[in-house]
Amino acid sequence: MNAQVQDVAKPAVTGSGTSLRSLADWVESVAALTRPAAIHWCDGSDAENAALIAKMEADGTLIRLNEETNPGSWLHRSHPDDVARVEHLTFVCTSEQDDAGPNNHWMSPADGHAQMDALFEGCMEGRTMYVIPYCMGPIESKIARCGVEITDSPYVVANMRIMTRMGAAALSRIEREGGFVRGLHSTGELDPNRRFIMHFPEELTIKSYGSGYGGNALLGKKCHALRIASHQARQEGWLAEHMLILGIENPQGETHYIAAAFPSACGKTNLAMLIPPEGYREKGWKVWTIGDDICWMRPGPDGRLYAINPEAGFFGVAPGTSAKSNPNALATIRKNTIFTNVGLTADNQPWWEGLDEGQPVIDWRGNDYDCSRGPAAHPNARFTVSAKQCPSYSEHAEDPTGVPISAIVFGGRRASLVPLVFEARDWTHGVLVGAAMGSETTAAATGQVGVMRRDPMAMKPFCGYNFADYFAHWLSFDRPGMKLPPIFHVNWFRKGADGRFLWPGFGENLRVLEWILDRAEGRAGAVETPIGHLPRADDLNLDGLDLDGAALQTLLTFDRDGWRAEFDSLGAYLDEFGARMPQALKDEHGRVVSALGR
C-alpha cells in the first residue's frame, strides 16, 4: 500500500483465515489502510449467507419480497446515482500507456495506487471488512482462475456467492496454487465524484471505490473475468470473451455449442435461454444454457476451442424480460433471487417494464409510482440468480474441460445495412468482422442511449489491453494443428421503413442458428458477397414463420454502396491504433474494400 497508515487497535477477526502467507499479509495491509471494525473470512456456507441476509434485512439493505410468489427473494435499491457501469471512470493502469491502448482510459500504476489508496484510507471505519475467496469456473477446471475480493458491502458478498464458486473450496485451491487476483472494493460514500475502478493487469490487481453497482462492485465479474482475465489469456494462450455459450441439440441427439458476443442489453440472456419454436420442439430440438455473459476458451489437445462459463449465476437485465422474450429467465428468477432497482406491486412482487402481469405501486427509488416521473424499474435494473435454477441449464456447464465450440457468432444492434446473418470467409476475415462490430448504446453504461459506436467483439468496455494487440492475439490462433470454428455475424435488430423490427427474434432465432451449424458442418448453401457468405431465402428453414417476402429480402440484402461507406469508417477506426494494428488485419480490410469496388 502506498498511503501512510495509522496504528489502530486490531479489528476482531471471524472465519477460518488462511495458511497462505501472501494472502494473509495482503489482508493485514488492507486492514491497516482501511481500518475496519471487524474482519470476516467468508466460507460460503448457508449459515453465513443467512446471517448476512438477516443483517441486511434489519438495516434495510434488502427488502423481503412476497414469500408465496417469490420465495427466498429480495429487493435492493441502489443510490440513484449508482445504477450502471462508469466507463469514463474505469482505468487500466499499465507501465506503458500504449499497452492499455486508445480503447482504455490509462493511468500509471504509481498514480493509480496513490489515488485509490488515498480514497481507501480509513474508509471502513465502523464497518466489517469481508474477505471473499472465489473461483471463476468449476473448481477443478484447469481453465478456471481464482481471486479474492475484499469489500465492506454485505450485498456484494451475497451476490458474489451466487455469481462465483465462493468460499472454502475456492480458498483451498488458492492455497494450493499460491496465486490469485486481488480485488479491493469499498462503497465509500457513494459519491459520484469519488468513484473510480482501477485495474492493474501486470499485478493482477483491481481497486474499486465509491460504487455498489454490480458491474463496478462484483469484482469477479467484468473486472476479473474480462479486464484482468483478457490480460492473463493473452499471456497464457487462451481467450477471455464477453460471450454467451449455448448448446443446440438436434433431433438426432447431437449437441453443438456456440459462443456468441453481443454488447450488453442486446439479447445475450434471451439467446442463451432460447426456447425453440413449436415446430422445432415437435421434431426434438432442444437448447441448453451454459452461460449468458462470459466465455473463457482454450485450445484442446484436438485443436478445437473448449469453453467454460466462469460464472455460476446470472446478473441479468430485468426490464424487457417477459413470458414472450425469455420464459426460461422468468422461471429461473421465481425464487432465491436478488433483484436490484425494480419496482414493486401492492403485494410486494418485483415488477419491471415488459412484464405481462401485475401493476407497480412503488418505483425503483422507493417512491409511489407515477408514470409521469419515469419508469417503475430502472432501465438497467438487474436480477442475480444461480444458473442452476434455469430450466435449460446444462450439466455440462460444470465440465472441467469445457465444451467444444462449433461456431463463434458476433452481433450488434444495427437498424440498417447489416444483414440478418452472414459467415466470414475464414478466420482472419472473422477477426475483422468481430473488430468491425458496432451497436447502439444501451442503459448498461452511463451516457446517451441509442448512439452507434464501434464495439469490437463486444469488448470495448472490457478488454484489459490495447485492442491492436487483442486482434493480434485472436489472429495468432490460426496456426497449424488448430481446428478453429467458423465465424458468423448476426443482426436481430434490422428495421423497416416504418421503424419496426423486420425479424421476429426470440425463439425464431434458432432458424438462423440452424443455418449457422449446418454451414459449420458443410450442409447448407449460401451466396458469396464481398462481406461474406449470406444465406438465400431457400437456405433458411422458414416453415411456419409469418414473414413477408419484402421483409425477408431486406434482411438478406447486401447493399454494396452502404458497405463501401461502412468500410471507409472501419478503416479510419483501425488506423486509430497506429503501427500496433496487425498488418494481416489491415490487409484483410484492403481485400474487402477491393472486392467492394468503387
Positions annotated as catalytic residues are 266
Residues 133 and 171 sit within 8 Å (Cβ to Cβ): yes
Helix, strand, coil abundance in the chain, percent, nearest 5 = 35, 25, 45
What is d(CA 291, CA 393) in angstroms, rounded to the nearest whole number? 8
Rounded to whole angstroms, how far apart are CA atoms 306 and 515? 22
Question: What's the rounded Cα separation, in Å, for the pair 57 and 64?
Answer: 7
Phi, psi dihedrals of residue 579, rounded to the nearest 5°? -70, -15
- What is the b/e burial string over 294-329, where b = at least 16 CB atoms within 10 angstroms of the residue's CB? bbbbbbeeeebbbbbbbbbbbbbbbbbbbeebbbbb
What is the distance between the alpha carbons of residues 391 and 245, in angstroms, rounded to a whole number?
15
Helices 467-475, 229-236: inter-axial angle, 10-degree rounding? 40
Q: Which of 222, 228, 36, 198 is nearest to 117 (CA)?
A: 198
For 12, the grid coordinates are 476482531
Grid cell for residue 37:
471494525
**Cα angle: 560, vertex 562, 567; to 5 degrees:** 90
Dihedrals φ, ψ of 129, to 5°? -100, 120
Reduce the DSSP state of residue 14 to 3 states and report it. strand
Sheet holding 74-76, edge to edge: 63-64, 74-76, 338-340, 382-386, 313-317
Cell representation of residue 254: 447431437
Report the C-alpha gap between 143 and 289 in whole angstroms. Answer: 19
> Could you say which DSSP state residue 67 is in?
T
Residues 6+ apart with CB under 8 A from 401: 141, 142, 143, 300, 306
For 536, the grid coordinates are 438465400
Residue with cell 497464457: 236
How much is the CA Rg of the chain, to the nearest whole Å?
Answer: 24
Question: What one-character-per-residue DSSP string does 138-155 give?
Answer: -TT-SS-EEEEEEES-HH
- Signed CA dihedral, 401, 403, 404, 410: sign only: negative
